[in-house]
């Protein structure tokens, strides 16, 4: 049985998003991804990551629809 963790590490987020851990750090430092620090370590709340992903998908779909409408 796999237990879904609410708070994720940089490594876990990198695996979840299929991106390099340094990219996760870069996005966190720039405020491009929802994150918080505990000491020097970045942490990510799964609920806010999923909300962030959903917002990215919705905005991408909106851009695609607008582009298709102009053809």
Provide the number of structural domains found in the chain. 1
Full residue range of the structural domain in which residue 47 is found: 7-69
Is residue 2 assigned to a domain?
no
Give the pair of three-digit tokens for residue 60.
Answer: 């991408």
Please list, in sequence order, all residues whose beta carbon lies within 8 angstroms of the beta carbon of residue 12, skipping any fewer than 6 positions away: 5, 44
Q: What is the pLDDT along the chain (71 residues), one digit of tens a residue?
A: 455 689 999 999 999 999 999 999 999 999 999 999 999 999 999 999 999 999 999 888 776 666 566 54
Distance CA 31, CA 71 (A): 35
pLDDT of residue 1: 46
Task: Look up the pTM and report it.
Answer: 0.78
Is residue 1 assigned to a domain?
no
What's the CATH number where 33 sits?
A: 1.10.1660
List C-alpha distances in Å: 34 to 8, 12, 30, 39: 11, 14, 10, 17
């Amino acid at each position: 049985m796999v237990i879904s963790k609410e708070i994720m590490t940089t490594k876990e987020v990198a695996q979840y998003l299929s991106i390099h851990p340094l990219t996760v750090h870069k996005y966190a430092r720039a405020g491009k991804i929802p994150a918080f620090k505990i000491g020097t370590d970045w942490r990510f709340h799964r609920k806010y990551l999923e909300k962030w992903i959903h917002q990215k998908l919705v905005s991408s779909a909106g851009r695609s629809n607008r582009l298709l409408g102009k053809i």
